[in-house]
Amino acid sequence: MAEETTGLGAWVDGQKAAGTTDSKEQSFTLDASKAWSKLGEFQLPRKEFWILLLVQAAVEAGCSKLEVAQGRTKTSFRFIDSSWTSDAVHGALFELEKRQTQGLGLLASGLRALALGTKHPFTVRYPEGFQEQWDGSAMGGRSSAPEGSFEITVTHLPQGQRDLTGFKLAAVRAEIGRTLTKYCFCSPVPIVCDKLSVSELLHDPNCGVPRARPILCRRLPLSDLIPAFVLPKNRPQFRARMHGYLLNQDSEWHVDEVLGEDLLRGGEAEAVAIVAYGGSELRKNELHFAFVRSGVVIHRESHSLWYPLAVTILLSAGGLQADLSGFRLVESEDVRARCRLVLDALLALLDSEEGVEMSASAVPLYPKQPVAASLAAYVAVGTLTGGTIGFLMTTVHGVGIAGAHGFGHWSEQNAIRCFGKKFSTTELADKLREVRVEPAEEKQRTVRQRRGRRDRSWESERWGGR
């Protein structure tokens, strides 16, 4: 069927006449009816944050699952069990003062940011059998076969642009996956990206795998002093993307009973603390306050610990004022008070477990199947290019590498279980008591004082420079 102009296409065309210029005063006036639409292009701190808006929309709409499928040139987001229709989406896009639900409002913001803030063409497919396609400059609609779920498919490169090497396509694909894992690991709606579960608390960039080795996860009892948020239902075994073996593989991780007691429950919580062995330079380990809204970490407050352990406290951003983007909290006493409250709760919990020793509780499992598949592919290529000699060389070389990695992995796990370093809850509590949650102005003043005494900047202290 031939393409037809849609409401979204007409709205895009109307952007050209959305503003007027006063030639006498050289001032620009933005038409009120287009104000929110214009802000869709400029309000987000990072261009890829349209992904976070889609995740928040899925959470607020009560979707049962968000499936993300990545191909070489496109990435699709399928919202399972969503009730969005074309009429409802158009109403949220164009009648901003009459938004029906928060989920639709977030979806509309995500679509505006994607259309106006990026150069990615995309297609929106509705369950009733209708689709709209944005090519970067114009929007067209056509009939299509009925879909079971609402779906958005984003093309990795702008219209007409090619990538002969594949590097640009791979970079966009990796950026989407990295954004999901870094910010959306708290989503109560299960997010699956190419069979990799994104909604796992141990994907936290500060205390998660593979960067760190988690050793403790505890819910903090706060007696309804702050709003609660919903945690994902984690699993005792999950996969994390990491480098290693013959190729880059997804490593399997196992969570033991000590770590999994509070980690695997899911449901509502006011705050959750994750403690991990940092596995990096001592000065880089930090205490993070990660504020969660609609399943997405929208803001982080970080403090240096100068201790082998890193700590992340997840808490709700509900009731706190954010900036226009919704992804940055406004500096206020309310934010600092909430940070102090959850920190005091963690200290009380550690004091109640005085003298308890903590050790690594999440360990990687050797990925036998991925390594075997990579080895088979390696040997097949060697056989095709070198015949019998190629087969023998690649077999010996591949088996040798896989065996060496397997032995190293086995040795590492036994060392962790038998000789792994143990940390006392008392020592961690004493270190956390040294953290000062202070206003931004006082923090900057302290930095200047420190620079005068030691003749080195706060950045060099934090990141290990000289």
Examine the fold and report which residue of 176, 211, 229 is the final residue of a domain before the chain moves on.
176
Position 32 pLDDT exceeds 60: no
Residue 204: band (very low, low, confident or very high) from pLDDT cuts 50, 70, 90 = very high
Q: Which two tokens stand for residue 372?
A: 């075997």
Residue-wise pLDDT tens digits, 130-171:
888 887 766 677 766 667 889 999 999 888 788 888 888 989
Is position 316 within any domain? yes
In terms of domains, do 346 and 219 share one?
Answer: yes
CA angle 279, 283, 288 (to 5 degrees): 80
Q: Is residue 239 part of a domain?
A: yes
Q: Residue 8: inside a domain, yes or no?
A: no
User: What's the CA gap between 276 and 362, in Å, rounded?
Assistant: 10
Q: Are residues 116 and 59 in the same domain?
A: yes
Query: Considering the domain boundaries, does residue 432 fall inside one?
Result: no
Same domain, 172 and 217: no
**Predicted local distance difference test score (pLDDT) of residue 241:** 61
Structural domain range at position 318 = 201-362
Collect all residues with Cβ–Cβ distance below 8 Å to 358 and sequence separation of at least 6: 215, 216, 275, 422, 423, 424, 425, 428
Both 281 and 154 in one domain: the answer is: no
- Among candidate residues 304, 335, 362, the one where a domain is terminated: 362
Measured from the Cβ of residue 136, the count of other Cβ atoms closer than 10 Å reads: 16
Judgement on whether residues 172 and 252 belong to the same structural domain of the protein: no
The answer to whether the CB of 301 falls within 8 A of the CB of 287 is no
Assigned domain for 14 exists: no
Is residue 436 assigned to a domain? no
Instruction: Let me know whether 209 and 338 are in one domain.
Output: yes
Rounded Cα distance, 222 and 265, in Å: 18
207 and 339 share a domain? yes
DSSP character string of 1-31: ---B--HHHHHHHHGGGSEEEETTTTEEEE-
pLDDT value of residue 424: 84
Check whether 251 has a pLDDT greater than 80.
no
What rounded mean pLDDT belongs to the chain?
Answer: 77
* Residue whose structure tokens are 């994902």: 232
Residues near 414 by Cβ (< 8 Å), separated by ≥ 6? none
**pLDDT at position 360:** 61
Contact 232, 200 (CB under 8 A): yes
Half-sphere exposure at residue 404, Cβ-oriented, CA atoms within 13 angstroms: 9
Same domain, 219 and 253: yes
Over range 223-235, report the average pLDDT. Answer: 85
Report the number of distinct structural domains present in the chain.
2
* Greater model confidence, 246 or 400: 400
Give Cα separations from 76 to 151, 152, 173, 293 (angstroms).
Answer: 7, 6, 11, 23
**290: in domain:** yes
Q: Are 218 and 273 in contact (CB under 8 A)?
A: yes
Query: Does residue 2 carry a pLDDT above 50?
Result: no
Confidence at residue 387, expressed as pLDDT on a 0 to 100 scale:
86
Question: Whose structure tokens read 């009892």?
Answer: 221
Burial of 141: CB neighbours in 10 Å, binned 0-12, 13-18, 19+: buried
**Alpha-carbon span 284 to 349, nearest angstrom:** 25
pLDDT > 60? residue 462: no
Residues with Cβ < 8 Å from 227, sequence gap 6 or more? 270, 316, 318, 319
159, 260: one domain: no
pLDDT beyond 80 at 287: yes
pLDDT interval class at 37 (50, 70, 90):
very low
Pair 270, 218 in one domain: yes
pLDDT per residue as tens digits for the range 381-417:
888 888 888 888 888 888 888 777 667 666 655 555 5
Give the pLDDT score at 35. 53
- What does the pLDDT average to over 258-287? 79
Alpha helices in 323-367 (DSSP H): 333-352
172 and 205 together in one domain: no
d(CA 32, CA 229): 35
The Cα–Cα gap between 261 and 264 comes to: 6
More confident residue, 331 or 136: 331
CB contact at 8 A, 221 and 345: yes
Domain match, 45 and 154 both? yes
pLDDT above 80 for 279: no
Q: How far apart are CA 20 and CA 188, in angstroms?
A: 44
Among residues 111, 142, 176, the one where a domain terminates is 176
Q: How many whole angstroms separate alpha carbon 285 and alpha carbon 280?
A: 7
Q: How many CB atoms lie within 10 A of CB 161?
A: 11
Tell me if 466 is assigned to some domain: no
Question: Is the per-residue pLDDT at 319 higher than 50?
Answer: yes
